[in-house]
Amino acid sequence: MDSQPEIPAFVDGDLVMLRPLVESDLTQRYLDWLNDAQVSRFLESGTFPETMDSLRAFYNAMQGSKHNVLFAIIDKATGKHIGNVKLGGINWIHRYGDLGIMVGDKAYWHKGYGREACRLLLKYAFGRLNLNKVWLGVYGNHAAAIRSYEKVGFVIEGRMSEMLNFEGAYVDKVIMAITKRQFAGRAE
């Protein structure tokens, strides 16, 4: 069991639960995820070295924000904090937001934990927040992520050519989205 205090699930699944990210989650382990080249390879956060001060600044900016919701992804079997999922840029007039996810603990990669976290965030976005659409941008050369998002129900809506700098070369940014109606039409 992780050394985190018992914090109740905000959204609960089979493999993971989502709960608010709390200050005690700001550990060296979390910081190491952000500075790990494999973890941050397809993330904006891997561009510059992160410090505990920059991690705290990010956390403080998310707290009290009316346009961003940040959850810790917790492995239900162990209680371990394995990553984060965020609904950001929430537009309350047009009812949309963008999804971002980081499964920092590599032991949980390719096992369905990230997919379930995305599904739970969509359930929250469409059910609790009554949003109409959730979108995301993904590196065009990140085929595994694109397949994973498609399994959750996201569809490719567009492509911005040579938009993202990836290891010294420019790659497309793939825009994917799912609507409340599309999500409701999917079997649980």
SS3 72: strand
- 87 within 8 A of 68, measured Cβ to Cβ: yes
pLDDT at 41: 85
Q: What is the pLDDT of residue 33?
A: 94
Residue indicated by tokens 């390879």: 41
Q: Which is nearest to 106 in space by CA: 158, 25, 38?
A: 38
Which pLDDT does position 5 carry in this prediction? 54
- What are the Cα distances from residue 78, in Å, to 3, 65, 111? 10, 30, 15
Task: Give pLDDT, residue 188.
Answer: 56
Report, as residue numbers or ranges, the catalytic residues: 149
Residue type, 170: Y
Phi-psi region of 87 (alpha: psi -120 to 50; beta: other; left: phi over 0): beta
Ordered alpha helix ranges (H), 2-51? 28-35
Centroid of chain to Cα 66: 17
C-alpha 133/C-alpha 137 separation (Å) is 14
pLDDT (tens, 9 = 90+) of the chain, 188 residues, equals 444 557 877 889 999 999 999 999 999 999 999 998 888 888 877 678 899 999 999 999 999 899 999 999 999 999 999 999 999 999 999 999 999 999 999 999 999 999 999 999 999 999 999 999 999 999 999 999 999 999 999 999 999 999 999 988 999 999 999 999 999 987 55
- Tokens 């379930």 label which residue? 116
Report pLDDT for 146.
Answer: 96
Task: Report the distance separating Cα 22 and Cα 124, nearest Å.
Answer: 19
Instruction: Name the pTM for this structure.
Output: 0.91
Structure tokens belonging to residue 110: 């390719």
- State whether residue 120 is helix, strand or coil: helix
